[in-house]
Structure formats: structure tokens, C-alpha cells
Structure 1
Amino acid sequence: MADFGYFLSCEEHTPAQLVDQARMAEQAGFDALWISDHYHPWNDRQGQSPFVWSVIGALSQAVSLPVETAVTCPLIRTHPAVIAQAAATSAVQLGGRFRLGVGTGEALNEHIVGTGWPEAHVRLDMLEEALQIIRRLLTGEQTSHRGRHYTVENARLYTVPDEPVPIDVSAFGPQAAETAARIGDGLITMTPDAALVERFRRGGGGTKPVYGGLKVCWGADRPEAVRAAHRLWANEQLPGELPQILPTPSHFEQASELVTEDQVASAVTCGDDPDAHVEALTAFVDAGFDTVYVNQIGQDQQGFFDFYRTKILPQLRN
């Protein structure tokens, strides 16, 4: 049976709000937490973007749920040796309840240090090298590395967990899924794509866990929920590689003008119909996912958690 987690959105909420939501998620019966790792929100209306590692430290003291970044880009903005230290400390604080989710990122967050935005195949190569560095450092052994993309000199982590930190790799296409199967401890993706899961498993993923996530907008007034989803997250409906290459929130706002409310209404579960919410999450389970994370769009978090505690999670588990 699949597990169900809550996806904390750093793009919409302050650190204190995220910690409160984590507590509500645990009280509502969710099994685990995802948390996004961004430098910018996707648009100014979302309005937040706290430093994820500080929030994870607070979460470690507030809840007993497992936590995973969804996802961290250890390529450009932050050197993999620094990500290794952050992941090690998080795992220690959480008593082994931490997984590091990684991906090749977006220009939105990574170009800020002025080193340019590599092509997708280069980023995949960088990710593979970065994970080699991170895994070596997580052993606590002194590490030096001179590779195609990164240099590490005499680095050693002194605060490390007793067990290795699992590292799950985000993938949205076939090549990335095969890379995730080869270098990751699990797969992360955001659509209930059974073919992608099968490609991951056949490409070497075997029985490694598969994690998926989706956004919903619960509310008693469905048209208003659709409007909220469109106002805050129209960017999720942008096609292809566009979300990886646009550099600023204002560019996403411009591109999102092409996304209609009808498109959002057909793609995002909105309103308070329990069957619609159950169907959206069950699609991931039917596609072979082990854990499904759901995020509530907007500020009515308590209403969402009450709804899922009483109407959705019991159905999913039956």
C-alpha cells in the first residue's frame, strides 16, 4: 500500500507557516513531508522563498515525520560539497528520517551566480559527478576530487549520520529516468506516468522507491479555487523545457499569461469533491508509485487538512 505525504511549498509560505503546516500534516495523518528548495518563487504572487536548510532544522524539532527536499539542485548555485554538509546535518537532526531529493534544476534559481545555464545533457553529467562527491563526503572520510565540473580539496564532514543518506533523483523524461535508475536510490517525478516508472525500473531502478507529487486547491467554492490555482500556479501548465530556461519570476508571469483558467481547471484538482481528490492521488498509486505527496494551493491550509483527515486519507487507505 502506498504512503501519502504533504508537500510544503517554500514558494508560498513563510518559515513559520511551513512549520505550522508540517504539524498540521502530522496531526492529519500524513506519513511524510516534502519541501521545495528554491532561491526564487515562480512568480511574485507566490511571494516567498526561505532558505530550505534553515526550515528543515526547525522541522526536525517540530514533527516526527520523515523529510525530503523536492528537489535540491547541487550543481551551480550551491557546490555539492556544501550540499553534502547540509544533507548530513539534516539527517543527524532528523535522526535518520531525511532523504535528499536532487535534480538538474532551473535557470530561475541557478543562474543567479552568473555562471550561465548549461544544456540539459551537461546538467545531467554535472549531477552524476555531484552525487559522487556528495556520497563520498557523507562517509565522513577526507575527500579530494578533480573532475570535469568540480574540484574538492581536503574536505571532510565531521557531523555525519550513522547511515548513508538516501539520494533520490528527479526525472521527467526517458533519458533522465535512466540516469535516475543508475545513480539514484529512488525516482521523483510529478506526473502519474506509468511508462516513466517502468523505464526507471527496467533501466536499473528495480525495486527502488518511486515518489510523486501533485498540487490541489481544496475549497468549498470550486470556481474560486480554480481562480486561486490559476493566479498562483499557472506556471505549472507551461510546456516542455520552458520552466527550466526562464530566468526570473517576471518571465514566468509573462509566459503564464498564455495559460487560461480552463487549462488549470482541467489539470488541477480544485474544489471539495472527495472523489476527485481520491482519483487524483490514486492515479499515482495505479502507476506504481510508492509515496504520493500532495500540496494545497493557497492560504486555507487548516480547511485542507481537516478535509484530508476526515474525507480523503481514510478512503485512500481503505
Structure 2
Amino acid sequence: MVQIGYTMMTEQAGPRDLVDHVVRAEETGFDFSVASDHYFPWLRTQGHSPYVWSVLGAAAQATSRIPLMTYVTCPTFRYHPAVVAQKAATMQLLSQGRFRLGLGSGENLNEHVVGGGWPSVDVRHEMLEEALDIIRALFEGRHVNRRGTHFDVESAKLWDLPDQPPPIGVAVSGERSCALAGRYADLVIAVEPKPELLTAFDQHGGEGKPRVGQLPVCYDTDRDAAVRRAHDQFRWFGGGWKVNSELPHPDSFADATQFVTPDDVAESIPCGDDPDTFVEAVRPFTEAGFTEVALVQIGGDSQHEFLDWSAKTLLPELRGAFA
């Protein structure tokens, strides 16, 4: 049976609200949770972007059952990989083994703030591979000295290391990232239900490992209001990651999506309160072979209503459909 997760969307709620939401998600019965790691929202109308690692630490203390995960962290620009390894190990200890470290090659939107430009995708993948080597070595308890192409590590060691390091997930969107994920990851992450991504992951060593997808949804008893909210805050989503990874600012996303209509958004994001519509939106992920799907309820102020509806209606419908 596919597991259904809840997304702490840091771009649309403040830190205290995010912790409150994941506590409610645990009470509601979601199987796991994920959290985005951003410096900017995608669009100004989303209105937030707190530091997710502080939020996750608070969430680890406020919850007791629900797994936590970054979806995803870029370990190559804002953060040095040695620092990411330390943060992830600490989170695994705080959560008592409930943390998974989701990693990706990043987006210009979030990483440009430290300067240094935004390299080509090939260079970004080289940097991610080097970062994965460093993080793995530190998770193994090794004393790491390294002079790499992109990163230096000077006498690093993790002094608070869990017995079981956090599983590492790698986000994929094409052949190169699938190859990296197959070699280095304990699970694969994708936001598009493309079976060819999972096939490529399997071909490079990923067979039998978990595969985690993500789906934006917009619950509201007024479907027209849901469509308007989805268009206002999430019309960027349809741009695809080759575009989304390159744009540097929320205003860039606003310009790039100025001709996207509410009807366009409603075609790709389930809106309203018909559970069958949400079930059918999840189905492509299950048919592609995903073992977990994290839902993103659009709208920071609508989380409690969504969670109440999920407990009574949506989760039972999803579990009945994909048992």
C-alpha cells in the first residue's frame, strides 16, 4: 500500500505554524512528512520562508511518531556538505531515528544569496556527487580530510552520530541525477510521476529502494476559491525543473507564469472537495511505481481545514483505493 505524506511547505507558513501543522498531521494519521528548504518563496503571494532546520528541530520535539524529511536540501551552495552532515545527524538524534535527509542539486532561487553565480547543470551534478561522498564518509564516523574539485574538508568528524545514520534521498529529474541517486541514495525523490525516472534509478542500483513523490492539492469546499488560490500561489509548479531550477527570484517566476490561467492550473492540480479527484491525481504516482506520495495543501491558512477533511474523508479514500 502506498504511504501518504504531509508537506510542511515553508514557503507558505511561518515557523510556529509549520510545527503546529505537522503535529496535526501526525494526529490526523499521515504516514510521514516532508519539509521544503528554501530561502525565498516561489511567488511573493506565498509570503514565507523560515529556516527549515530550526523548524525540523522543533517538530522533532513536538511529535513522537511521524517521520520527518527534507524535500530537499541543496548541500553545495548555502550549506557546505560537512555542515549538512552535522545537521542531519543531529536531527536523527533529536527525532530518535525518524529523519531522512533529502538532497538535490538546488535552485538558483535559493542558492544565489551566497554569491558565486549559478553554474551549469553538469557542474551542479558534479558538486552534488562530491557532497554525497563527504556526507557518506562523515555518517560512517570517519575523520575526513579532503581536497576536492569543489569542496575542501579540513579534519572533520561528527561527534554526535546516531547508531543508524539518516537514510539519504536524492531528487531526480533526468538520467544524470538518476545515476547519482542509484549509486548513492537509500531512496529516490521526484515530483513528476514519470516511470522512466524510476527505471533509470533501478538500472543504476536503486532497485527495491523506496521512491517518494509529491503532489500539490488544493482542498476547499468552494472549488472556485480553491482554483483561485492554487493559481495565485502555485502556478509556478507547471514550469518543469529545467526552468524552475534556473530562475533567480519570485518576480522571475511571476513574469514566467503571467500567461498561466486558473484553468491551466486546475488541469494539473486537484481542487475542491471531491475525494475522487484527489485519488485520481495520486494514481499516476502509484502506477509509475512510487511507494510514497507527499501531499502539499496549497495555502498556509487552509491547513487545519485540509487536515480535518483528510482525517474524515481523504485518507480513508486513498487507503481504500491503493490498499
Please give the TM-score of this superposition, normalised by the length of structure 1.
0.97
* 1:147 counterpart residue number: 148
* 1:305 counterpart residue number: 307
Deviations 1:120-159 (A, max 9, x none): 1111111010011111112333211111110000111111
* 2:45 counterpart residue number: 45
Query: Does structure 1 residue 85 correspond to structure 2 residue 86?
Result: yes
Alpha-carbon distance between aligned partners in 1 of 2:94 and 2:204, rounded to the nearest angstrom: 34
Q: State the secondary structure of the residue aligned to 2:30.
A: coil
Q: Residues 22 and 59 of structure 1 are in contact (CA less than 8 Å); yes or no, is this contact kept in structure 2? A: yes
Alpha-carbon distance between aligned partners in 1 of 2:84 and 2:51, rounded to the nearest angstrom: 13
Q: Residues 238 and 259 of structure 1 are in contact (CA less than 8 Å); yes or no, is this contact kept in structure 2? A: no
* 2:164 counterpart residue number: 163
Alpha-carbon distance between aligned partners in 2 of 1:138 and 1:40, rounded to the nearest angstrom: 29
* 1:272 counterpart residue number: 273
* 1:315 counterpart residue number: 317
Q: Residues 138 and 157 of structure 2 are in contact (CA less than 8 Å); yes or no, is this contact kept in structure 1? A: yes
Amino acid at match of 2:24: M
Amino acid at match of 1:26: E
Deviations 1:280-311 (A, max 9, x none): 12321221111110010012112111211111
Count of matched residue pairs: 318
* 1:185 counterpart residue number: 186
1:225-244 matches, within 5 Å, as: 225-239=226-240, 241-244=242-245
Deviation at 1:170, TM superposition (A): 0.1
* 1:135 counterpart residue number: 136
Q: Residues 235 and 265 of structure 2 are in contact (CA less than 8 Å); yes or no, is this contact kept in structure 1? A: yes
1:4-153 matches, within 5 Å, as: 4-64=4-64, 65-153=66-154
Please give the TM-score of this superposition, normalised by the length of structure 2.
0.96
Q: Report which stretch shifted further, 238-247 or 99-108.
A: 238-247
Alpha-carbon distance between aligned partners in 2 of 1:222 and 1:20, rounded to the nearest angstrom: 26
Deviations 1:12-36 (A, max 9, x none): 0001110111011111110111000
Q: Residues 237 and 263 of structure 1 are in contact (CA less than 8 Å); yes or no, is this contact kept in structure 2? A: no
Q: Residues 143 and 156 of structure 2 are in contact (CA less than 8 Å); yes or no, is this contact kept in structure 1? A: yes
Alpha-carbon distance between aligned partners in 2 of 1:31 and 1:5, rounded to the nearest angstrom: 5
Gaps of 5+ in 1: none
Alpha-carbon distance between aligned partners in 1 of 2:205 and 2:55, rounded to the nearest angstrom: 34
Q: Report which stretch shifted further, 117-126 or 251-260.
A: 251-260
Q: Report which stretch shifted further, 278-287 or 155-164.
A: 278-287
Alpha-carbon distance between aligned partners in 2 of 1:191 and 1:119, rounded to the nearest angstrom: 22
Alpha-carbon distance between aligned partners in 2 of 1:194 and 1:113, rounded to the nearest angstrom: 35
Alpha-carbon distance between aligned partners in 2 of 1:222 and 1:60, rounded to the nearest angstrom: 34
RMSD over aligned Cα atoms: 1.1
Amino acid at match of 1:60: A
Amino acid at match of 2:35: I
Q: State the secondary structure of the residue aligned to 1:259.
A: coil
Q: Residues 107 and 246 of structure 2 are in contact (CA less than 8 Å); yes or no, is this contact kept in structure 1? A: yes
Alpha-carbon distance between aligned partners in 1 of 2:303 and 2:115, rounded to the nearest angstrom: 37
Q: State the secondary structure of the residue aligned to 1:75.
A: coil
Gaps of 5+ in 2: none
Aligned pair in 2 of structure 1 residues 33, 239: CA closer, same or farther (>3 Å)?
A: closer
Q: Residues 269 and 276 of structure 1 are in contact (CA less than 8 Å); yes or no, is this contact kept in structure 2? A: yes
Alpha-carbon distance between aligned partners in 1 of 2:210 and 2:10, rounded to the nearest angstrom: 24
Amino acid at match of 2:296: N
* 1:261 counterpart residue number: 262
Q: Residues 32 and 66 of structure 1 are in contact (CA less than 8 Å); yes or no, is this contact kept in structure 2? A: yes
Deviation at 1:240, TM superposition (A): 5.4
Alpha-carbon distance between aligned partners in 1 of 2:222 and 2:265, rounded to the nearest angstrom: 15
Q: Report which stretch shifted further, 188-197 or 79-88.
A: 188-197
Deviation at 1:239, TM superposition (A): 4.1
Q: State the secondary structure of the residue aligned to 2:245.
A: helix
Amino acid at match of 1:9: M
Deviation at 1:227, TM superposition (A): 0.6
Alpha-carbon distance between aligned partners in 1 of 2:140 and 2:303, rounded to the nearest angstrom: 39
Deviation at 1:117, TM superposition (A): 0.6
Q: State the secondary structure of the residue aligned to 1:235.
A: helix
Deviations 1:182-215 (A, max 9, x none): 2211110012212221221123211111000011
